[in-house]
Structure 1
Amino acid sequence: MEKDLGKKILQLVGGEANISAITHCATRLRMSFQDKKKVDEAGIKQLDGVLGTMEKGGQYQVIIGPAVDQIYQDLIRATRFESGVTEAEPKGKKNIITLFLDTVAGIFTPLLPLLAGSGVLEELFFF
């Protein structure tokens, strides 16, 4: 993995002023931008340590892998953002379909272990 990967990503996304939100999940650095045109996607993909990029749900995602937390912390130290305080959702309106699917997923996701467990129990006791 390249040394100072966080700083290099910061340069290639147009600098701190272009970032409106930054967060991460288990393997991806997630950012929203003021101006997407300033992002050098080809340059980001060529960095050693970057596995790929994608855009989903209004967020630009840099796929890094398990080292993402360290890269995120490097970015936080190099910018005005604070860890845990950054905006997680991109600004802007969500369309009605995305809003509906987010609501349904939010309702049923906590129930998935219960449904899976009940299916296993049914197979064990009723066959």
Structure 2
Amino acid sequence: MANRFADTKLEALAIGFASHALLDAIPHNDEALEIALTTAIGAALLTHQVMQREDVDWELFLTGGLGGILPDGEHFLKRNGFIDRSLYPSHNGTIKQPRTEPVWALWFELGVAVVAFKVGF
């Protein structure tokens, strides 16, 4: 979506960062390994498809993607003792993260990815 709505790398980073909270608000279960792996593979395939397009600003696209995954770096920092508590709103309970069964989580995430792709391009 940063490719369509951002004019600068900072805007792309902010769009990705904010979109993470929106995605955390849909029912998901990314702590299940099979969901995390499937999502990662899906993201790689989608990125490959987007790479075929000539109308993509790569700096904005990749910076937006970085902003989108950046908040999950907090999980690594917390699990490995670098920080004591989460700061990101959907990680500290300010924005609730509904959980669901892994199979439903995958369908929700797929639906959101399709909508984001349609809106972003």
Q: TM-score, normalised by structure 1?
A: 0.25
The structure with the largest helix share of the pair is 2
Between Structure 1 and Structure 2, the one with more strand by share is 1
TM-score normalised by length of structure 2? 0.26
Higher relative contact order (CA 8 A, sep 6+): 2
